[in-house]
């Protein structure tokens, strides 16, 4: 029923969903992330694909009388001001699960920043799971999964593949899109 509702809502809003699930557990890049609406579209896209997505969210989203709703929707609260060994915790959770899909918005914010946070990459590498190229392209009203990248350890090489995929994807507010580059990359690469 949830799948039918999501599919109907997306179609009524002019969106199409693409992609297939090839792995029981993986990290999904949630990009571009420029609007609060991204969460709604991501959850609808996941429902349309028939998957349950877990996602990391700012701890303040889980406070107050509706915090429980965020948890029911798959949210995992994180304190962004300190690391709390988040990469290892998330990787351990993935390793111990038979199936789990963890969505991570690498920009870490809806505002424009000069680099992506690398947590998505290191969670996947540490857990030895692939990275799915999740996307919301508001310009084409398309969403879904655009394939998988298996972390090789060569961060720049892997990021070149990721950059190429996201090159033409546009967020709800394109002016807030981020440079697709990790601090770990040695060369200055623009998106």
If DSSP codes are grouped into helix, strand and coil, which group holds residue 44?
A: helix
Q: Is the pTM of this model over 0.75?
A: yes
Specify burial of residue 59 (Cβ count, 10 A radius: 0-12, 13-18, 19+).
middle
Tokens standing for residue 47: 């429902």
What is the residue extent of each domain of the chain?
A: 2-53+79-176
Q: Which residue has the tokens 């870490």?
A: 108
Q: How far apart are CA 84 and CA 45, in angstroms?
A: 30
Segment 21-60, tens digit of pLDDT: 989 999 999 999 889 899 899 999 999 999 999 987 778 8
pLDDT in tens, 118-175: 999 999 999 999 999 999 999 999 999 999 999 999 999 999 999 999 999 999 998 8
């Amino acid at each position: 029923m949830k799948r039918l509702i999501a599919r109907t809502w997306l179609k009524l809003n002019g969106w199409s969903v693409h992609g297939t699930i090839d792995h029981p557990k993986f990290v999904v890049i949630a990009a571009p992330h420029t609007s609060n609406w991204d969460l709604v579209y991501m959850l609808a896209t996941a429902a349309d694909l028939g998957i349950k997505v877990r996602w990391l969210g700012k701890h303040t989203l889980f406070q107050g009388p509706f915090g429980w709703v965020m948890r029911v929707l798959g949210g995992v609260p994180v304190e962004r001001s300190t690391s709390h060994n988040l990469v290892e915790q998330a990787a351990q959770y993935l390793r111990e699960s038979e199936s789990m899909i963890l969505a991570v918005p690498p920009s870490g914010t809806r505002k424009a920043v000069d680099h992506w946070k690398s947590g998505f990459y290191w969670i996947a590498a540490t857990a030895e799971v692939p990275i799915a190229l999740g996307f919301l392209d508001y310009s084409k009203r398309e969403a879904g999964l655009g394939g998988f990248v298996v972390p090789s350890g060569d961060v720049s090489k892997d990021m070149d593949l990721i950059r190429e995929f996201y090159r033409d994807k546009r967020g709800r507010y394109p002016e807030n899109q981020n440079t697709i580059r990790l601090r770990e990359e040695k060369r200055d690469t623009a998106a």
